[in-house]
Amino acid sequence: EAGVAQSPRYKIIEKRQSVAFWCNPISGHATLYWYQQILGQGPKLLIQFQNNGVVDDSQLPKDRFSAERLKGVDSTLKIQPAKLEDSAVYLCASSSGIGDTEAFFGQGTRLTVV
Amino acid sequence: KNEVEQSPQNLTAQEGEFITINCSYSVGISALHWLQQHPGGGIVSLFMLSSGKKKHGRLIATINIQEKHSSLHITASHPRDSAVYICAGRYGGATNKLIFGTGTLLAVQP
Q: Per residue in A84-96, pLDDT tens?
A: 999 999 999 998 8
**Over residues B42-67, mean pLDDT:** 92
Distance from CA of B77 to the nearest CA of A (A): 23
pLDDT mean over B60-80: 95
* pLDDT higher than threshold 60 for residue A12: yes
Mean model confidence pLDDT for chain B: 91
Q: Is B32 exposed, middle or buried (0-12, 13-18, 19+ CB in 10 A)?
A: buried
CB B22 within 8 A of CB B74: no
Residue A90 touches chain B, beta carbons under 8 Å: no
pLDDT for residue B95 is more than 80: no
Model pLDDT for residues A34-91, shown as the tens digit of each residue:
999 998 888 899 999 998 899 889 999 999 999 999 888 999 999 999 999 999 999 9
Q: Per-residue pLDDT for A98 more than 80?
A: no
For B33, name the nearest residue in chain A, comparing CA atoms only: A102
Question: Is the per-residue pLDDT at B54 higher than 60?
Answer: yes
How many residues comprise chain B?
Answer: 110
Is A102's CB within 8 Å of B98's CB?
Answer: no
Query: Is 60 exceeded by the pLDDT of residue A1?
Result: no
The predicted pLDDT at position B74 comes to 97
Query: Which residues in chain A are closer than 8 Å to B41, comparing Cβ atoms?
Result: 37, 89, 91, 107-108, 110
What backbone torsions phi and psi does residue B80 show, to the nearest 5 degrees? -70, -10
Integer CA distances (angstroms), A106 to A26, A76, B91, in order: 10, 13, 21
Cβ-proximal residues to A26 (8 Å cutoff; 6+ apart), any chain: A1, A2, A3, A4, A94, A104
Q: Based on C-alpha coordinates, what's the Rg of chain A?
A: 13
Please give the Cα distance from B51 to B49 (Å, whole number).
6
Query: B31 versus A21: which is more confidently predicted?
Result: A21
Contacts of B50 in chain A (CB under 8 A): 100
Contacts of B97 in chain A (CB under 8 A): 45, 48, 55-56
Q: What is the mean pLDDT of residues A16-29?
A: 95
Q: How far is A6 from chain B (nearest CA, A)?
A: 11
Q: Is the pLDDT of residue B94 over 70?
A: no
* Distance in angstroms (rounded) separating the CA atoms of residues A95 and A105: 9
